[in-house]
Amino acid sequence: MRTVIVLAAGVGKRMKSDLPKVLHPVLGRTLVGHVLAAVGAALPGSRVLVVIGRDAERVAEHVAEQAPHAGTVLQAEQRGTGHAVRVALDAVPDDDGPVVVLNGDLPLISPDTLHALVAEHEAARAGVTLLTAAVANPAGAGRIVRDDGGGVARIVEQRDASPAELAINEINAGAYAFDAGALREMLGKISTNNDQGEEYLTDVVGLMVAGGWPVRAHLTADPDETLGCNDRAELAALRATMRARINTRLMLAGVGIVDPATTWIDVTATVAPDAVIEPNTHLRGASLVEPGAVVGPDTSLIDTEVGAGATVVRTHADRARVGPGAMVGPYAYLRPGTVLGAKAKVGTFVETKNAELGEGAKVPHLSYIGDATIGEHSNVGAATVTVNYDGVRKHHTVIGAHARTGADNMFVAPVEVGDGAYTAAGSVIVKDVPPGALGVARGVQRNIDGWVTRRRPGTAAARAAEQALGPVSHEPSGSDEEQAG
Piece of the chain touching Ca ion by CB under 5 A; list 228-236, 302-310, 382-390, 413-421: 228-236
Please report how close the Cβ of residue 392 comes to ligand UD1 at its closest, in angstroms.
Answer: 48
Of the candidates 25, 32, 18, 11, the one whose C-alpha atom is nearest the C-alpha of residue 174 is: 32
Binding string, residues 141-160; x marks residues near ligand UD1 by CB under 6 A: xx------------x-x---
Measured CA to CA, the distance from residue 188 to residue 262 in angstroms comes to: 50
406 binds Ca ion (CB under 5 A): no
Nearer to ligand UD1, 99 or 141 (CB): 141
Please report how close the Cβ of residue 12 comes to Ca ion at its closest, in angstroms.
Answer: 9
Q: What is the 3-state secondary structure (H, E, C) of 422-479?
A: EECCCCEECCCECCCCEECCCCCCCCCCCHHHHHCCCCHHHHHHHHHHCCCCCCCCCC
Active-site option among 115, 365, 402, 474 = 365
CA triplet 216, 206, 139: central angle to 5 degrees? 80
Cα atoms in the Cβ-side hemisphere of radius 13 Å centred on 139? 3
172 binds ligand UD1 (CB under 6 A): yes
Nearer to ligand UD1, 8 or 182 (CB): 8
Strand segments, DSSP code E, in 375-429 are 379-380, 385-387, 397-399, 404-405, 410-412, 415-417, 422-423, 428-429
201 binds ligand UD1 (CB under 6 A): yes
Measured CA to CA, the distance from residue 411 to residue 433 in angstroms comes to: 11
- Residue nearest ligand UD1 (C-beta atom): 142
202 binds ligand UD1 (CB under 6 A): yes
78 binds ligand UD1 (CB under 6 A): yes
Residue 270's CB is within 10 A of a number of other CB atoms, namely: 15
69 is known as an active-site residue:
no
Is 342 in a helix, a strand, or coil? coil
Please report how close the Cβ of residue 64 comes to ligand UD1 at its closest, in angstroms.
Answer: 18
Nearer to ligand UD1, 81 or 384 (CB): 81
Piece of the chain touching ligand UD1 by CB under 6 A; list 89-97, 171-179, 416-424, 471-479: 171-179
Piece of the chain touching ligand UD1 by CB under 6 A; list 71-79, 378-386, 396-404, 457-465: 71-79
Binding string, residues 15-54; x marks residues near ligand UD1 by CB under 6 A: ------------------------------------x-x-
Choosing from 98, 104, 107, 228, the residue that interacts with Ca ion (CB under 5 A) is 228
Measured CA to CA, the distance from residue 91 to residue 101 in angstroms comes to: 14
386 binds ligand UD1 (CB under 6 A): no
Residues forming beta bridges with residue 146, ordered by sequence position: 152
Residues forming beta bridges with residue 130, ordered by sequence position: 176, 217
Q: Which does 450 bind (CB under 5 to 8 A by kind): Ca ion, ligand UD1, none?
A: none
80 binds ligand UD1 (CB under 6 A): yes
Nearer to Ca ion, 228 or 296 (CB): 228
Question: Mutual orientation of helices 81-89 and 180-187 as an angle, nearest 10°?
Answer: 120
Binding string, residues 94-113; x marks residues near ligand UD1 by CB under 6 A: ---------xxx--------
Measured CA to CA, the distance from residue 240 to residue 142 in angstroms comes to: 24
Long-range pairs for 369-373 at CB < 8 Å and ≥24 separation? Answer: 370/335, 370/394, 371/395, 371/396, 371/397, 371/413, 372/396, 372/397, 372/398, 372/399, 372/411, 372/413, 373/397, 373/398, 373/399
Binding positions for ligand UD1, rule: CB under 6 A: 7-10, 51, 53, 75, 78-81, 83-84, 103-105, 141-142, 155, 157, 171-172, 174, 200-202, 228
Residues noted as catalytic:
365
Binding positions for Ca ion, rule: CB under 5 A: 228
